[in-house]
Structure 1
Amino acid sequence: MSEEKLELRIITYMCPTHPVQLYELIMELLEKSLKCYTSLQYESRTPGPFKDRPDPFTSNKVDLGFMTAGSYMRLRKAGNKSIELLPVTPVFTHQMNVDNEPGYFSDVIIHSDKKAHNVNTLLDLRGCTFAYSDEESLSGSKIILKTLKEKGENASFFGSTLRSGSHLASAQMVLSKQAEWAAVDSTTLLYSKKYMQDGGKDIILLETLGRLPPYPIVVNTSLKDEVKKSITKALLTLPQTQEWKKRFAKFGITKFDSNTDGSYDGPAAQMWAVQNEKINIRYY
């Protein structure tokens, strides 16, 4: 009788912000490194575990998860004991990431037509229609609220708002002129723009905000320590080999680097402090 293999049950809440093929590549890497089986759940309706449904980590239905920084910070604040942060995170290329460090950015985008109307800075967008992925997104909404507040503005700055449901949808809204501007996860533009109509040439990057905290990778606390260490080691080392480095580069990943809970404290926690502020309600 053959030896029973470990099966890693993986869930990603990062699609379509990131292409699902990226997580399929991670599955392949882990299967090769850990000599295990993997399965993948793809949940595109929420950036992290649903607030009004049983947590898949608590109910022991998943072992490894990819979610937004905002979702991880929410679970951490709630004292979720079923997850822990893996000390590893992907590092993406970006024109602002000159030091090739963990973290990502929020790209403020407009349609090229807006340039003809003398829109040159964020403050020139007063009264324009704003598209955002969801209220919990650090890059899609919270950093905008924080930046406007620092500039002495409030939510009356927005002409109207459209909740798109994803960063990709926000970018598409700008491209199709349903919205006049949006703030999107920088990695969305990095990979997806080339697949948009005419290569997304009508999307203009107006400003870049951040750096935002790294993308968290979490594991079920019930997973054996040796497996957690093996996953971490595989992600930190294999993508540096020529074969895997080339394959991850297609998704804009230059490497995987170390990560700690401290990444979600300090400035990140201050940004999270605007969680009670609403994008369509005045705040002061």
Structure 2
Amino acid sequence: MADQAIPLRLRLITYLTPGVPIEYFELLKEYLEEKLQCYVYLLSESRWSGPPADRVDPFATGDADIGFVCFPTFHRMFLDPNSTVILLGIAAGNADPRIQDQPMYFSDVITHKDNCTKFKEFKDLRGSRWAYNDDYSLSGCLITLRELRKIGENANFFGNIVRSGAHLKSIKMVLDKMVDGAAIDSNTLSYQMKCDPELRKKLHIVTSWGPLPVYPAVVSSKLPEELRNSLVSHFLKMHEDPKWQARLNEFLVTKFVPVTLEDLQGEGDKIREEVGEMTMTKEVNY
């Protein structure tokens, strides 16, 4: 602890579990502890994909120093002049062959394998039972609304809509045939299929939307610039150590790569603009 710029403790928070397994963030915690020679504590919030607008921001209160949130939440916080959250400047590069090593992912529309002939295209899901994870989720909600708008539809396109609360719950609802379809974070789906290969026999991917900007790492602006730069440097070098690279690969992450606001905002902002005021709430026509 000789370096005075290094705090005694660093608080890491994730809003991406359980879709992104908690073990992944425990790995990052261990890595930072080793490299920064300080204590790193991990917090996990599974109810939201980022700090809700109507709740106290843990970054503003000093309860969180570095975090992982979904893009829509980051976008809202970035536009808030009172927010103390800034982009750290790194994101995970994924092993998906469609975007090898890039900080991107897709939204995979899934149905049960038994329905693969019934639902050959997204438009075939008209009148179906649909599950989505979170109103602020880019891959589970906003991209679906954007695709509906493209074909001149809104949430009334579906016969019934259920907010599951998490991608894993949406997957289970499709497997149990409680719903007909859902849009799932491709990283979450790929990891689940890696852990349980039987899922490939039970699920059918109707289509994929994207690529989308991957969930960014954010940091409190209250942290010293020297420490923020150190965090970036260590993340970008993580894959260079065979020990840590192997552990990253377990979660289908190849390495961390630099990202800028422009990288994140392009497609993300475009989707938000196209969605406008649309929601997953079915509209009543009088």
Class of the TM-score when normalised by the shorter of the 2 chains:
over 0.9
Provide Cα deviations, 1:43-84, integer angstroms capped at 9, x if missing partner.
111110122221111111111111111111121122343111
Tell me the distance in 2 between the aligned counterparts of 1:275 and 1:168.
27
Contact 1:73–1:264 (8 Å) recurs in 2: no
Matched, 1:279 2:284: no
Runs of 5+ consecutive residues of structure 1 not aligned to the other structure? none
Matched, 1:69 2:67: no
**1:100-179 to 2 correspondences below 5 Å:** 100-117=101-118, 119-179=119-179
Runs of 5+ consecutive residues of structure 2 not aligned to the other structure? none
Tell me the distance in 2 between the aligned counterparts of 1:32 and 1:70.
32
Task: Give SS of 1:104's match.
Answer: strand
Deviation at 1:152, TM superposition (A): 2.4
> Match for 2:79: what amino acid?
K
Query: Structure 1 stretches (4+) deviating beyond 6 angstroms?
Result: 1-4
Partner of 1:209: 209
Tell me the distance in 2 between the aligned counterparts of 1:266 and 1:23.
27
Partner of 1:221: 221
Tell me the distance in 2 between the aligned counterparts of 1:240 and 1:215.
22
Contact 2:238–2:256 (8 Å) recurs in 1: no
Tell me the distance in 2 between the aligned counterparts of 1:254 and 1:185.
17
User: Root-mean-square deviation (CA), in Å?
Assistant: 2.0
Provide Cα deviations, 1:184-221, integer angstroms capped at 9, x if missing partner.
11111111234459445311111110111121101111
Contact 2:93–2:256 (8 Å) recurs in 1: yes
Q: CA distance change for structure 1 residues 92 and 149 in 2, over 3 Å: closer, same or farther? A: same
Q: CA distance change for structure 1 residues 107 and 261 in 2, over 3 Å: closer, same or farther? A: same
> Match for 1:108: what amino acid?
V
Contact 1:214–1:263 (8 Å) recurs in 2: no
Percent of paired sites with the same residue = 37
**1:1-284 to 2 correspondences below 5 Å:** 6-97=8-99, 99-117=100-118, 119-195=119-195, 198-199=198-199, 201-273=201-273, 274=275, 276-282=277-283
Contact 1:136–1:275 (8 Å) recurs in 2: no
TM-score (ref. length: structure 1): 0.93
TM-score (ref. length: structure 2): 0.92
Tell me the distance in 2 between the aligned counterparts of 1:209 and 1:215.
16
Tell me the distance in 1 between the aligned counterparts of 2:145 and 2:249.
32
Tell me the distance in 2 between the aligned counterparts of 1:49 and 1:81.
11
Task: Give SS of 2:11's match.
Answer: strand
Tell me the distance in 2 between the aligned counterparts of 1:71 and 1:101.
21
Tell me the distance in 2 between the aligned counterparts of 1:85 and 1:19.
22
Contact 2:71–2:268 (8 Å) recurs in 1: no
195-204 or 99-108, which moves further after superposition?
195-204
Task: Give SS of 1:141's match.
Answer: helix
218-227 or 150-159, which moves further after superposition?
150-159
Count how many residue pairs are aligned between Structure 1 and Structure 2: 281
Tell me the distance in 1 between the aligned counterparts of 2:263 and 2:191.
25
269-278 or 125-134, which moves further after superposition?
269-278
Contact 2:51–2:57 (8 Å) recurs in 1: yes
Contact 2:12–2:64 (8 Å) recurs in 1: yes
> Match for 1:105: what amino acid?
F
Deviation at 1:171, TM superposition (A): 0.8
263-272 or 35-44, which moves further after superposition?
263-272
Q: CA distance change for structure 1 residues 51 and 180 in 2, over 3 Å: closer, same or farther? A: same
